[in-house]
Chains A and B, each alone.
Chain A
């Protein structure tokens, strides 16, 4: 690129900077708009004030509605206008503060911009920098990217910028000179078409262009091209060297191809994900992994548990983990701790089906510890059992018949009916 072309390029760039410096900034435009709005509302306020004055003039006989109604309407409108003016004023104040930080482009001298162009040609070589039709084209050397699995040589790239309108940044064109494309036709993981997504480089690149540091701008773009960001490419680097993704699986969560030795697959729904995205549990019993959508929750401790290996309470049918499950000592069924009861006599665990309540005191009993009333069949605990004095049968409190206070005999119904009577009672009656 000869001296004349460098000067012309510098001129184009300077003309753009001069035009930009004359453009009002966003703050200026906002302030201008808000002040116009405030002025319009002030005029409206003045009009309504005249209307109110005429209404309140006792000499005005042309009222269509009552003076009170008109006053109420006007006051509403006037208040509304006042609020609008206050809001506009506040916006203007805030924008004036922002104006202090708002940076306008300061055009550099032609000499300084020429030095920038000159520095670019020294950086990349005279043969690799071209200026034609207002566009500055710079050939960048080889770009090799690595994802720590493979190094991929993507060949040489070209950056083209319109010096008469370098912004916005999406007008910058980056193309491949060697067309080393991925399986799906991408020339670079961070380029779609000819547009480089600059990511972290966007802000410094923007600042560099606005400050006239064109050399820095190209250095930033070059660094961006020569860096692979695996977090958010258009196309992963593996699409160049392993398009069939041999030895890899696609993670359904982060939507990336990952080595298959870091993959887990949900035993229930077959969802595949990498170890970074895996949220679920690895069951200690069956050794399978279940994703968080398919795990079940223990009804007691609320922990996530494997749906294949979890226990189910035979009473309430809710899932529970091993730690929260108990075994009924009568029928060996599995029950959760909420449904489990303890026999008040022996302390054994019983399910609802195998538990009995003492008909007298209501305590929980297991099958072994409960005693049946031989009259009515009701269950009783040991403390509530009465014995028939005559036949020694077990009887409950309800079925127990008392002879009299004197003898204190308790009898079952049969014995009571057959009883010839209490000698002590007959003696008293006589």
Chain B
């Protein structure tokens, strides 16, 4: 099993550590552990301190940080 950090920057925010099976892809991970629609978010993955190129088939590594930021955030006046 590997540990992945999932951070959501919407609403009040959410940050949690999730254990997944080694070899889990990013797409599978989000399908299981994220309620929102990934298409509405900017997804960034940090692996070993480096930003990695994100695609659905990316295989998550132990200690990776997955960060989701809404593409639309309502400002105010």
Contact = CB atoms under 8 A, between A and B. Distances in A.
Contacts, number: 96
A201 B75 contact: yes
B1 interface: no
B76 A190 contact: yes
A255 to B, nearest CB: 11
A204 B77 contact: no
B32 interface: no
A190 B20 CA distance: 41
Contact of B46 (A119, A227, A234): A119
Interface string A183-213: 0000001101000111111011001100101
Interface residues of B, number: 23
Q: Which residue of A118, A203, A215, A219 has the most chain B CB atoms within 10 A of its CB atom?
A: A219
A207 B13 CA distance: 8
A155 B46 CA distance: 30
Interface string B7-33: 101111101000000000000000000
B72 to A, nearest CB: 4
A231 B42 CA distance: 24
Given A199-B75, A224-B74, A225-B75, 20 more contacts: A119-B51, A123-B44, A189-B75, A192-B77, A196-B75, A204-B69, A207-B13, A211-B15, A213-B7, A215-B51, A216-B44, A216-B69, A219-B42, A219-B44, A219-B69, A220-B69, A223-B42, A226-B71, A229-B75, A229-B76
Q: Which 6 A-B pairs have the closest CB atoms?
A: A190-B75, A199-B76, A229-B74, A201-B73, A219-B69, A115-B49
Interface of B: 7, 9-13, 15, 42, 44, 46, 49-51, 67, 69-77
